[in-house]
Amino acid sequence: MTDTFQNLSVNISELPEVKHSTFFGIEQKYLSVTLIVTGVTFLVLMVGAGCIVYFSDEIDNGLTEFGLALGPLLLLWIGSSLYSIKAFARKRYSLREKDIIYCKGLLWRKRTSVPFNRIQHAEIKQGPIERIFHLHSLKVFTAGGDSSDLVIPGLKEENAQKIKEYIMGKTALDGVDQQ
């Protein structure tokens, strides 16, 4: 690691490492939100597929036809639910002195780090199903476009509020530093 890159202004091995910072998991209840959202999506799809088979003149209303239309969807539903359950533990976030980090993904892992002094603004959001579980998402915007925006779902209200204030305090502080 020490000799990965040369001629930099600091020794990289002395820098704080993102992967060794303390990560927190999100609220367990968020898993239910994910499962319900997937469930609703697949139910809508299956009802749609069922309607097509039922109302179409060219397709018979036999058990085989319904099975062929709905079976794959059911399998996909089960598969994606299992994947969500497995991948849930990978959703973790970390707050450091100068940046915020969020990781996710089981097969395709992704870790996004946004320095506080590049944050444009932060907002707390709540979808309809999140509302049932009293959960909130924190969304952090940068000037870097959609791919660099960071969303931490499944936070309790006081937690989301606390993190947002922490971030906004830090960005304001950086603003003062600059002048």
Partner 1 sequence: MESISSKYASPTRQSRVAIGIILIKFIRFTLRSFWPLVLSLFIGRKAGNSFEEVIGYVALGIAALNLLGSVLTYFRFYFHIEGGAFIIDKGVLKKTKTNIPFERIQTINLQQNLLHQMFGVVSLEIDTAGAKKSELTIDALRKEDAEALRKYILEEREQLVDKTSQESAQVTTAEREEEVEETILSLSITDLFKVGVSQNHLKSMAILFAFVFSTLNELTDDVEDLVREQLSGFEEYVVTNSWIVFLGSVIIVAIIAFLYSLINTVLKNFELKLSTRKRGLKLVRGLFNREEISINRSKVQTISWSDNPLRKAFKMFTLEIEQASSAQADQLKAKIKIPGCYHQQVKHVVQMVFPFDISSEHEKHRVSHLLRYRLWLTVSLLPALVVILPAYYFWNPNALWLLLWIPTSLLAIELYYRKRSFELTAEMLRNNKGTFGNTHEIIQLYKVQAVIIKQSWYQRRKNLATVELSTAAGDISIPFIAMEKAEALENYVLYKVESSTEKWM
Q: Enumerate binding residues for partner 1 (CB under 8 A).
A: 1, 4-10, 12, 15-19, 98-99, 107-118, 142-145, 147-148, 150, 174, 177-179
**Nearest approach, Cβ of 67 to partner 1 (angstroms)?**
25
Question: CA 151, CA 139: separation in Å to the nearest integer?
Answer: 4
Pairing state between β 136-142 and 119-125: antiparallel
Q: Collapse the DSSP code of 20 into the 3-class scheme (helix H, G, I; strand E, B; otherwise coil) and give the result.
A: helix
Per-residue H/E/C for 66-83: HHHHHHHHHHHHHHHHHH
**Nearest approach, Cβ of 1 to partner 1 (angstroms)?**
6
Instruction: Give 44 or 85: the residue with its C-beta nearer to partner 1.
Output: 85
Instruction: Give 77 or 116: the residue with its C-beta nearer to partner 1.
Output: 116
Instruction: Give 86 or 131: the residue with its C-beta nearer to partner 1.
Output: 86
Q: Which two tokens stand for residue 25?
A: 């998991």
**Nearest approach, Cβ of 20 to partner 1 (angstroms)?**
10
Instruction: Give 92 or 118: the residue with its C-beta nearer to partner 1.
Output: 118
Please name the helix (run of DSSP H) or strand (run of DSSP E) that holds residue 116, with its range, or none: none
DSSP 119-142: EEEEEEE--HHHHHTT-EEEEEEE
**Nearest approach, Cβ of 145 to partner 1 (angstroms)?**
7
